[in-house]
Amino acid sequence: MNPLKFKQNRSLDVIALGRLCVDLNANETNRPMEETRTFTKYVGGSPANIAIGSARLGQKSGFIGKVSDDQMGRFITDYLKKNDIDTTGVKIDRTGAVTGLAFTEIKSPEDCSILMYRDNVADLKLHPSEVDEAYIKQSKALLISGTALAKSPSREAVFVALEYAVEHEVTVFFDLDYRPYTWTDEAETAVYYNLAAQKCDVIIGTREEFDMMEKMLNIEESDDYLTASRWFSYRAELVVIKHGGAGSISYTKDGGTHRSGIFQTNVLKTFGAGDSYASAFIYGLMNGQDVSEAMKMGSASASIVISRHSCSDAMPTKQELQNHMETAVYERA
């Protein structure tokens, strides 16, 4: 069962909106950041990774965002173009804002962390006037993530994009992507997350991310079914709640429940799993797979990326994903 309908007469499959940054992943693993001397540079940011993952799987992907007017900004834009991502919606900041940096620490497969530099970053300077209605109208789907809601004017740009998407029947995916360090307080976070989620068709997040959203409702006990049911009173057709190593569970508005397990892999790092899951999951749904199979595809993609050094560069091709699903051991939830 797949509850989603996509407008097929569109030139783009999915447009992602939000964070464009640079990941600097530690080359020396199994040691703390203090002892790390060299890093490898990659394009990063959750929506960027999802767009790249979608393009690797053969989808026609586009992006709406903002980059710094410097070498880092050009590095990001060039990388998107090399990966066949349409950059019509990527704007250049002229205020002197910089590119956000994410330094990763890989102490062990279970102990990884990210040190973020997010002051005066270009991606949060995206203005509502820079969101083109005609561009969004060209797409079957729009992907937003929570980080873009953290500051003005980026948050207003997100809501403008959501209005255009709803008006033109563009299916909206919301990857919650909650990063506490980008927000002032949890109350502010919950307000804007909830307002955005009300306009989305598919909501994807961890149990902890949904818990954050429910704090403003004074809900004290986590319950996946009740969480999903709340969003079905708005636009949502599908809600996916991820439980890490325990797999994920999804609910559809018609009362369906689907569970997905995980694929065994040699884990190098933990970050990147959510982005790779989302890209393959969305790809599966947009190509007619039922929800259970799309979730399984997401899990397979996540297991590939956490076994590799990067996030964006590690996103699998369609053939790599198919081979992995056929050969890797799958553990049902």
User: In this structure, what CATH number is given to the domain that contains residue 149?
Assistant: 3.40.1190.20
Residue 116 forms part of a structural domain:
no
CA-to-CA distance for 203 and 173, rounded, in angstroms? 6
Query: What would the pLDDT profile of 132-155 be if each residue is shown by its tens digit?
Result: 999 999 999 999 999 999 999 999
**Measuring CA to CA, how many Å separate 41 from each of 25, 35, 76, 103, 312?**
7, 18, 11, 9, 10
Residue 292 forms part of a structural domain:
yes
Chain-centre distance for alpha carbon 177: 6
Q: Beta strand pairing status for 12-17 and 61-67? A: parallel
> What ranges in the chain are assigned the alpha helix state H?
46-56, 71-82, 133-137, 154-167, 186-197, 207-214, 224-232, 273-286, 291-305, 318-327
Work out the angle at residue 66's Cα, subtended by the Cα atoms of residues 62 and 67, and round it to the nearest 5 degrees: 110
Residue 109 forms part of a structural domain:
no
Structural domain count, the chain:
1
CA-to-CA distance for 15 and 279, rounded, in angstroms? 12
The candidate with the shortest Cα–Cα distance to 301, out of 270, 267, 277, is 277
Residue 35 forms part of a structural domain:
no
Residue 6 forms part of a structural domain:
no
Query: What would the pLDDT profile of 203-244 be if each residue is shown by its tens digit?
Result: 999 999 999 999 877 777 789 999 999 999 999 999 999 998
Range of the domain at 145: 12-19+46-97+121-331
Q: Which of 16-30, 64-78, 209-223 has the lowest mean pLDDT?
A: 209-223
Residue 312 forms part of a structural domain:
yes
Percent of the chain with pLDDT over 70: 100
The candidate with the shortest Cα–Cα distance to 49, out of 167, 143, 166, 188, is 143
Q: What is the largest CA-CA distance in the chain?
A: 53
Q: Region 312-317: what's the mean pLDDT?
A: 97
- Sequence-distant (≥ 6) Cβ neighbours of residue 24 within 8 angstroms: 39, 40, 41, 42, 101, 102, 103, 104
The residues that bridge with 16 in the sheet, in sequence order, are: 63, 143
Q: Region 1-17: what's the mean pLDDT?
A: 94
Work out the angle at residue 201's Cα, subtended by the Cα atoms of residues 159 and 182, and round it to the nearest 5 degrees: 45
Torsion sign across C-alpha atoms 266, 271, 272, 278: positive
Query: What would the pLDDT profile of 242-279 be if each residue is shown by its tens digit?
Result: 998 888 999 999 999 999 999 999 999 988 999 999 99
57 is written with which tokens? 């799987």
